[in-house]
Structure 1
Amino acid sequence: MIIFAIVYLSKNKIEEFPVTIAVNRKTPNEIIESEFESFLECEKSTGENIQNFYLVKTYKAASSTLSNVLYRYGLKHGLSFVEPNSLKTNQIFPYSHLDTVSKYPLIPSCGKTYNLSTIHSRYEGKELLEKTMPKGTRIFGSVRNPISQLISFFNYMDVAAILKRKGININKFIKDPLMYSRKYLWFPKYFKLSDSPTEFSMWNQQSQVFGLYDYKIPAGVGRKQILENVIYQQEIDKFLERVDREVEFVFIAEHFIESMAIFRKMFQLDYSDVAHFQINSAVKNNSKDELTEQQQDLIIEWSYIDWLLYQRMLDKFEKLKSNLNYDLNYEVDIIERTSARILDFCTTPNHYKIVQGEFCPIKLLDLSKEGQKNVCCKRITQQEWEINRILKELMKESSAHC
């Protein structure tokens, strides 16, 4: 630090002029290079700001990208993960952590609790969660406009190809998605309702993950029935209030980078911790813009509780943004440029390869020659199934030496 001061001396007084202070601060480019170097040392940990996280992992709402961020954070700090013991599954939804004793046993943790949960599971309240995770665990999640979510589901699960053989297009599907889901779609690991083992659908899926008690509001109940039933309205109000109170922060998928910037500041993470590549993103076949207003309204009618959840979380997000005491655009810029710097090093620029996934083609970036040798680069582009396989191996190895 260099301090310049100009003073005027006289017999009787010292007259002070404004002091000019020049401080050596990092420029944005220096920050990005520093965070890039930090990323490349992803096996190392400063030991600072270690926190426990539970991700309310919503389907097709950027949650795989978020779990990838937590995955890298947990490995960097040597934390324990919630992982099902079975090699055949990487999730326990529609069950919660507490159901796993009889449903999906978890790989034991050396401690009584786990530091991180990045898998699909049902959130049933902070009190119950703290039986498997430490008290004070930071709870966050993500939501998405249910119209966009349904389109993403349609693309990612390759529903179009399945229904095409039956002569059903997306417009026909939207008129009665629950009926067509029940009749033609069989995705139990993604869309089972917790009280109805024979039901497979996208009915209010986001609210299901956040813990909506569907036995009080039967599957298929839509906007019209809810507006005519006071009991339904009361249950939904209780549900929304609990989410608002207990879930500390919710990502808005349509405002992902802004959400990530706020998340980073709120939970005191490094820029390199939140650098990301979009994971589990299907090649786009349909988009929300292709639907008429009437078709979009039909989706809202069907997933009305999800629409209410989304609107409430969006309002909460906008209020939070309006009260920030820092420059959000600056934060967004650093995150975007840091991610671009990392991906430029790790990946072959502007080159995608299409890999046929279990349900549909998924976008993956090819690693560059340098990136292929770097464990950090592999982590930031790894698909979810590969991440869970690695975590299971680490957890089992750890538990064997407790």
Structure 2
Amino acid sequence: MFNKGFKCTAVVRRLIPWIVLTKVMLVLYCLTATRQVNISPTQEKTCPLSVAKTSPGNITGSPDSKQDCSPKVNIMFMKTHKTASSTILNILYRFGEKHKLRFALPDRRNDFCYPQPFLCSQVKDYRPGECFNIVCNHMRFNYQEVSKLLPPNALYVTILRDPVDLFESAFHYYQKIIPLTWSISGNNKLTEFLNNPEAFYSPEAINSFYLKNLLFFDFGFDNNLKVNDPRVMKEIQYVSKRFHLVLIAEYFEESLILLKDLLCWSMEDILYFKLNVRRTSSVSRLDPETRAKALQWNWADWKLYEHFNATFWERVEAYGRTRMERDVKELKRRNAEMRATCIEGGDAVEAQRIKDTHFKPWQPIGEKSIMGYNLRNDINPERRSICAKMLTPEIQYLSDLGVNLWVTRLWGWLKDYIL
């Protein structure tokens, strides 16, 4: 009897921090939530047509671009979760900062009140009718509101990832903030979840959207549509009409070359280091049976990915296979040069080995699985600034751009020092 009482008390004590955490999250969510008001997109409250013709005159395009191609500066990047989108974000931050473009930035936190649908009023210091060049932080997509911020000639871009790998990554990263999964036993919680997902999932539960069709949810759709529901294909067609280019994470270099071509940028503009990457040992290797279950559970995401994977390769064919191979090779060569120039040791390191806190990435609760970089000490002063920017994670870069991230930083403090 004593042992049972002791075990029960121990379990309760372990749950208390998580209960407190959930309460704190809800309070912060309410403090930062914007009252949802649907405003019709009238002309006076929408970015004026004249701004579409405005672009900085000092930007030069890609040397091998068509003569009538000019660099594009009005961009909406739909940042999806766990898809290498943080790396794209860094590219956009650097380009926008270099050319003094105007970002529509979040306020007090690093996203636009996610998982609420996006509203213009969530933009820092927003006033109706204001125009921006770049929108690129996490949101739950809402075209009617996003389109009010950008000129009509803005280009819409997003990125997708194999839904099984995305699900594995999201489960690992978010599981500790999804209360319904806390009761899963055993060492392999992901497999246990997929063996009986309905036992640990409810559409109404806190943060449950991270566990099913997360891509569909990010685009603003119902992530609980059943297999073969005709609305899935309808929503996919909607994305096709709204987005000018859909990148594929598994073909990252090819995606960047297509992005460069669409935006008429130079090769220098798309150089990158992989950001927000997990150490290999933390990645679960799924057997074929488990992968099949994950695919079935995330069926809507799979149909979305399947469709845009096909259109992606149509774009590659149109670009030219030989030309693509040549440009990918050049991009890899230039990136290797930058790694040798900027990064101490030439590669990412474990979180505890990152010396400068400015380069330390955000970590999931209770872990240090996200890797980062150390900046070399002997960099040429002319290169030091660009190297540092390429290594800077999202949170720190947002601070550098002037966002007061007090909510995000408070949550980070609770996460790292209390839990």
Give 1:197-216 correspondences, 5 Å limit: 199-212=208-221, 214=222
Give per-residue Cα distances to partners, 1:122-180, cap 9 Å, x unaligned.
2223x5422122211110000011111122224445769x9699435132122244643
Would you say the 8 A contact 1:121–1:209 is kept in 2? yes
Q: 2:132 aligns with which of 114, 136, 147?
A: 114
Give 1:226-265 correspondences, 5 Å limit: 226-227=227-228, 232-233=229-230, 235-265=231-261
Q: Which runs of 5+ in 2 are unaligned?
A: 1-55, 61-70, 353-361, 406-419
CA pair 69-105 structure 1, distance change in 2 beyond 3 A: closer
State the partner residue of 1:30.
none
Would you say the 8 A contact 1:156–1:281 is kept in 2? no
CA pair 108-128 structure 1, distance change in 2 beyond 3 A: closer
Would you say the 8 A contact 2:350–2:371 is kept in 1? yes
CA pair 105-45 structure 1, distance change in 2 beyond 3 A: closer
SS at match of 2:346: strand
Residue identity matched to 1:71 = Y
Q: 2:141 aligns with which of 111, 123, 127?
A: 123
Give 1:309-320 correspondences, 5 Å limit: 309-320=304-315
CA pair 143-81 structure 1, distance change in 2 beyond 3 A: same
Q: 2:76 aligns with which of 29, 54, 58?
A: 54
Would you say the 8 A contact 1:85–1:392 is kept in 2? no
Q: Which has the higher contact order (CA 8 A, sep 6+)?
A: 1
State the partner residue of 2:264.
268
CA pair 371-297 structure 1, distance change in 2 beyond 3 A: same
Would you say the 8 A contact 1:353–1:364 is kept in 2? yes
Q: Is 1:93 the equivalent of 2:114?
A: yes
Q: For residues 110 and 372 of structure 1, what CA distance do their matches in structure 2 show?
A: 44
TM-score (norm 2): 0.69
Question: How far is 1:347 from its partner?
Answer: 1.3
Q: Which runs of 5+ in 1 are unaligned?
A: 1-43, 183-192, 396-402
Q: For residues 163 and 331 of structure 1, what CA distance do their matches in structure 2 show?
A: 47
Q: 2:400 aligns with which of 372, 390, 401?
A: 390
Residue identity matched to 1:358 = Q
Q: 1:146 aligns with which of 163, 176, 189?
A: 163
Q: For residues 159 and 251 of structure 1, what CA distance do their matches in structure 2 show?
A: 29
Would you say the 8 A contact 2:104–2:123 is kept in 1? no
Give 1:161-240 correspondences, 5 Å limit: 166-169=185-188, 170-177=190-197, 179-180=199-200, 199-212=208-221, 214=222, 219=224, 221=225, 225-227=226-228, 232-233=229-230, 235-240=231-236
Radius of gyration: which is bigger?
1
State the partner residue of 1:132.
149
Would you say the 8 A contact 2:72–2:263 is kept in 1? no
Return the structure number with greater helix share: 2
Q: 2:391 aligns with which of 360, 381, 389?
A: 381
Q: Is 1:343 the equivalent of 2:339?
A: yes
Q: For residues 269 and 381 of structure 1, what CA distance do their matches in structure 2 show?
A: 21
Q: CA RMSD in A?
A: 3.0
Task: Say how many residue pairs are matched.
Answer: 321
CA pair 271-157 structure 1, distance change in 2 beyond 3 A: same
TM-score (norm 1): 0.72
